[in-house]
Chain A
Amino acid sequence: MKAAESAQAKKQFDLFEFLYKYGTIIMILLLIAVFGAMTDNFLTQSTIIGILRQISIVTIIAIGLTVSLAVGGFDLSVGSTASVANALVISMFVWHGLSMGLSIAVSLALCLVIGLVNAFLVIKFKIQDMLMTLATMFVFQGVALTYTRGATVSQNMIMPNGDFATGVIPKVFGSLGRAPWIIIIMLVVVLIVHLFLTYTKHGRYMYMIGGNPEAAKLSGINVKKYRLAAYLISALLAGVGGIIIAARTMNAEVNAGSSYLMEAVAAAFIGYSVLGSGKPNAFGTFVGAVLIGVLTHGLIMMSVSYYAMDIVKGGVLALALAITYYRKAH
């Protein structure tokens, strides 16, 4: 009797585990099948490339966020950091006429400073990561706005003294924002961070800190150092994301990065469950971004209103959170 009960319980448990592990991937395949059946041109090469191109910026930013989640942190300022990088790299070209390499280097260096500020506040004052980075999110959003004086930075823009800006954005830079380069950059970022988190000592340390910070500390791990590293990586990748935004639009619009935050959070949390990992992981985050990309792309092709997309994305995030926390509690 008792054995039968427990066997039954085990069976149910296994079903949930199966859906937990493979649910996201099954969902993506189902969506592709459904959209493929309902629209004429969903299963074409151009659509698939379109989706990958569309998700690359979100994925890069979400991967950075994933690293901050791995150490038990939560970097909410990634969107603002992307805005800063976007404004910086375009202004380096247009205002200062710097070369491409130098522009990118300067932008990324300043993003690392943002990471440093976040890490300092979170580690030194022991403030909850989510609250602290909520504050810095606003700060850096304001920094980007102030720096561009609230205007869109673009080639030939009118400067405050009435002249036209003379700097030129190189054509090569623009190619970073188009397929195939944008997709290649995304895949490289996913691969490197996946290898780093899963197969290196440092990644293992980060997961230890995320899993049990006290035990990690007493195991002799320099918790502060690794938390700092995680925030630097997070800011760096957000910066890369911001630069790719610039390469795609060839200008710096106000708060161009902010809109990527929520999608990045959703992708990272969907990623927890992928293949049963149960923790933030790069491959899962990529799959999460693909799910969101397929869903929105398909819905738009079925002429669902663009304005309704936030409902869908928010709903997917809520579902991902519900599944993750339900499993933790059981």
Chain B
Amino acid sequence: MSEQAVSRLEMKGISIAFPGVKALTDVNFTALTGRAHALIGANGAGKSTLMKVLAGAYGHYTGDIAIDGRDVRIRTPKDAKERGIQIVYQEVDTALIPNLTVCENIMLEKMVHDLKGKHLVNWKRLHRSAKDILQQLNVAVPTTVLVENLTLAEKQMVLIARAVSLQCRFLILDEPTAPLSHSETEALFSLVRLLKKKGVGIIFISHRLPELYEICDDITIMRDGMLVADDEIARMPQQQVVEHMLGAKLDGQFPERKPKLGEIGFEARHMRDPGKVNDVSIHIRKGEIVGLAGLVGAGKTELCRALFGASASASGEISLGGKPLRIRAPHQAVAGGLALVPEERRREGIFVEESVAFNLTAVVLSKFTRMRTWLSPAKERRASAEIIGSLGVKTPSEKALVRNLSGGNQQKIAIGKWLLADAEVYIFDEPTKGVDVGAKRDIYELVAELASRGKCILYASSEMPEMLGITDRMYVMYDGGVIKELVTAETNEEEILLYSTGGMLT
């Protein structure tokens, strides 16, 4: 990290496909040492995939990577590290060993590789080297502390220190600021500036526009697995970045609706969940579909869980039809008439080892009992068959195990079980995630149908076209709070995205 001669990293014609998906198509990307390069794009644009290719995490791409004009072979993480390309992933905990000290974590790779043939560890020297590295980076973390006792920001620093302890010409930071507070972000930025001065090239992935303008010199924008623009960031106004990110609009696959809005059916005031949700107040009219817009990590899922009583640390006032509702746990929310279709359906929404009927009747099992105790399989079968028919679930029978259904059909099960419950308020958290186009359309129609029956709908999604296609009104979230309320008919993708990225439109 000492040479001041500028190195040039080039990725040329990179393409990569995963079963069923083409993730990157012919992407060119260039970065220079001593500069910070912003990489931005909507969710699923391919930023992280491109960087994983560069870090050697995916070996099966086509295209070339060259440093200073010479082709280099990068197919494994080891290849990348030998070329001086280091990456700090967003999930810092996966790369750290919590029950070891800061020193051991920083020197991890050295301990693994440089101790070949030796068996004794020279702790004194190890701690001295770790301390040196931290000092160079102006990071004040003692080397003897266990990593599990660090804050998230400190863990990130440790990972950066580890990257820098090795040969490091290019450092990829994958959404490093998403979980950080303002002051922690400032500390990270001064570290980035320091590294720039030391001649390291930083590639900085983020969703937050203002940050990119503060810290970066160049920018590359991606969309749908392709490069759409790259330039010096000073010559690219925010508005233009947003336009590039959005590109062409999707075709209208959304159902026609004539919303009939009733009185306010659901209201939540001052919802808080420390570190996740920051004083959010929302209301939904009967028959209204209210969107919850915002990028990944903006706090949409956390708000949905807080409203549903699924977070023990959440607080706030919730009322349904004007009557206050005490929700401390999900079973109270369900009893009160709320329904949540969670984002992580496999983990949170369905019982994969059980039958379709078992899943569909889970929420309102009492309806399918005699004397409120004894299960009635005949009733369960009838109700399940009805839901399977009305949602078009592709399953051999209601006895089939949910494990054997496709992702889209599993999602229909996760939604279908709430249809039997006949709730008043439906909260959908990314309901079309990982679902194919046909099933998406079914889900939109279902949501519209529920609204036409006078239900209150809260629809959280980071897909801008969905927000415009299905909602009547929306709240845009950024960094745990609602930053703006928009009426769908009077807004556009640019505006939503600008607020989602924390940009300011006056």
B263 to chain A, nearest CB (A): 26
Verify A202–B348 contact, CB threshold 8 A.
Answer: no
Among residues of A, the one whose C-beta sits closest to the C-beta of B421 is A220
B349 partner residues in chain A, CB cutoff 8 A: 215, 218
Of A39-47, A162-170, A206-214, A292-300, which binds chain B? A206-214
For B374, give its contact among A199, A205, A208, A211 (CB under 8 Å).
Answer: A199
Of listed A202, A215, A219, residue having the most chain B CB within 10 A: A219
B313-348 contacts to A, CB under 8 A, are 329-331, 333-335, 340, 342, 347-348
A212 touching B375 in the complex, CB below 8 Å, given contacts A201-B365, A219-B363, A220-B333: no
B334 partner residues in chain A, CB cutoff 8 A: 219-220
Verify A220–B363 contact, CB threshold 8 A.
Answer: yes
Tell yes or no: B351 within 8 A of A by CB.
yes
Among residues of B, the one whose C-beta sits closest to the C-beta of A279 is B353
A90-142 contacts to B, CB under 8 A, are none
Among residues of B, the one whose C-beta sits closest to the C-beta of A203 is B375
Verify A220–B330 contact, CB threshold 8 A.
Answer: yes
Contact with A along B351-373 (1 / 0, CB 8 A): 11110001000110110010011
Verify A222–B362 contact, CB threshold 8 A.
Answer: no
A212 partner residues in chain B, CB cutoff 8 A: 347-348, 350-352
A56 and B291 CA atoms in complex are apart in Å by 60
B355 to chain A, nearest CB (A): 11
Tell yes or no: B223 within 8 A of A by CB.
no
Verify B375–A214 contact, CB threshold 8 A.
Answer: no
For B310, give its contact among A201, A217, A221 (CB under 8 Å).
Answer: A217
B417 partner residues in chain A, CB cutoff 8 A: 219
A278 touching B347 in the complex, CB below 8 Å, given contacts A200-B373, A218-B340, A219-B362: no
Verify A222–B331 contact, CB threshold 8 A.
Answer: yes
Verify A222–B329 contact, CB threshold 8 A.
Answer: yes
Tell yes or no: A21 within 8 A of B by CB.
no
A212 and B308 CA atoms in complex are apart in Å by 18
B-side residues, CB < 8 A to A, are: 308, 310, 329-331, 333-335, 340, 342, 347-354, 358, 362-363, 365-366, 369, 372-375, 417
Verify B308–A218 contact, CB threshold 8 A.
Answer: yes
* B interface, over-half SS: mixed
Name the interface size band of chain A. 20 to 34
A207-264 contacts to B, CB under 8 A, are 207-208, 211-212, 214-222
A208 partner residues in chain B, CB cutoff 8 A: 351, 354, 362
Of listed B308, B347, B354, residue having the most chain A CB within 10 A: B354
Verify B347–A199 contact, CB threshold 8 A.
Answer: no
Not counting A202-B373, A204-B358, A212-B350, a sample of 4 additional A-B residue pairs whose C-beta atoms are within 8 angstroms of each other reads A200-B373, A212-B347, A212-B348, A218-B310
For A215, give its contact among B308, B350, B372 (CB under 8 Å).
Answer: B350
A204 partner residues in chain B, CB cutoff 8 A: 358, 365, 375
A211 touching B351 in the complex, CB below 8 Å, given contacts A201-B366, A220-B334: yes
Among residues of A, the one whose C-beta sits closest to the C-beta of B363 is A219
A200 partner residues in chain B, CB cutoff 8 A: 369, 373-375
A217 and B344 CA atoms in complex are apart in Å by 14
A219 partner residues in chain B, CB cutoff 8 A: 330, 334, 362-363, 417
Among residues of A, the one whose C-beta sits closest to the C-beta of B372 is A201
Verify B353–A278 contact, CB threshold 8 A.
Answer: yes
A216 and B373 CA atoms in complex are apart in Å by 18
A205 and B372 CA atoms in complex are apart in Å by 13
Among residues of A, the one whose C-beta sits closest to the C-beta of B380 is A204
